[in-house]
């Protein structure tokens, strides 16, 4: 993981976000809603600017923070995002309307493992229940364009997947699942994958040719 002093320095260089985004960041902090860390989302947006996806599928909307950030960074891109928590779903709809990106973002209220979607996506972004990442990947990779990428957030899980030093049984079980996902992903015969120690850890997977 990036040392805290370097992380603080990098965050100090990031321009101030518009008031709505700052409001969302504060809401997430006060209500314990998981959204991407600031350096992580900035890295994600820069990667997407390079990929230039026409369509993005996001697994895990939460309150719509990352979907709105992606829509603002890529005004020609369409985003489909899935959220199973009704309260967060409704909050996301409200924020998306306030951000005036309703024409870009479609939010689906459902468990991502239950819903059926159609279409092809240039980017699939996985940022939901970490213990289900392998299932999410296997379910939705069929919708990935041949030149597309699959991005998985939280794959270093606060550094615990490397340190492996927690005594909390629930956390330890989750750490093992993420470690298993990382091992599976890095050795997947169909994808080139790299893991960046940015934010909470971002894995980038691209189909082999």
**Residue 102 structural domain:** 4-154
pTM of full prediction above 0.85:
yes
Q: Is residue 208 part of a domain?
A: no
3-state helix, strand, coil in the chain (%, to 5): 45, 20, 35
CATH of the domain at 20: 3.40.50.150
pLDDT in tens, 42-83: 999 999 999 999 999 999 999 999 999 999 999 999 999 999
> H helices within 141-196, ranges in order?
160-163, 169-186
Q: Which residues define the annotated binding site for Mg(2+)?
A: 127, 153-154
Residue 1 is classified by DSSP as -
Q: Is residue 80 part of a domain?
A: yes
Q: Is residue 162 part of a domain?
A: no
* Overall domain count for the chain: 1
**Mean per-residue pLDDT over the chain, rounded:** 94
Q: Is residue 192 part of a domain?
A: no
Structure tokens at 190: 């169909």
CA distance 40 to 190: 26
Q: Which residues define the annotated binding site?
A: 36, 66, 83, 111-112, 127, 153-154
Q: Which residues define the annotated binding site for S-adenosyl-L-methionine?
A: 36, 66, 83, 111-112, 127
CA distance 14 to 25: 14
């Amino acid at each position: 993981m990036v040392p805290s002093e370097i992380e603080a320095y990098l965050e100090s260089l990031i321009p101030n976000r518009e008031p709505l985004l700052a409001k969302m960041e504060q809401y997430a902090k006060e209500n314990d809603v998981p959204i991407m860390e600031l350096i992580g989302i900035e890295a994600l947006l820069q990667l997407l600017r390079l990929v230039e996806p026409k369509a993005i599928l996001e697994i895990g909307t939460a309150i719509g923070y990352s979907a709105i950030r992606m829509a603002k960074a890529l005004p020609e891109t369409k985003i489909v995002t899935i959220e199973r928590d009704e309260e967060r779903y409704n909050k996301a709809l409200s924020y998306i309307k306030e951000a005036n990106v309703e024409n870009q973002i479609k939010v689906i209220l459902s468990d991502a493992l239950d819903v059926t979607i159609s279409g092809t996506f240039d980017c699939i972004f996985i940022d939901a229940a970490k213990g289900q990442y392998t299932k999410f990947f296997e379910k939705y990779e069929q919708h990935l364009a041949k030149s597309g990428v699959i991005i998985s957030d939280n794959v270093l899980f606060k550094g615990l997947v490397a340190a492996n030093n927690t005594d909390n049984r629930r956390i330890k079980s989750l750490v093992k699942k993420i470690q298993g996902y990382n091992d599976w992903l890095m050795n997947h015969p169909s994808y080139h994958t790299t893991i960046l120690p940015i934010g909470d850890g971002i894995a980038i997977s691209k189909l082999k040719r």
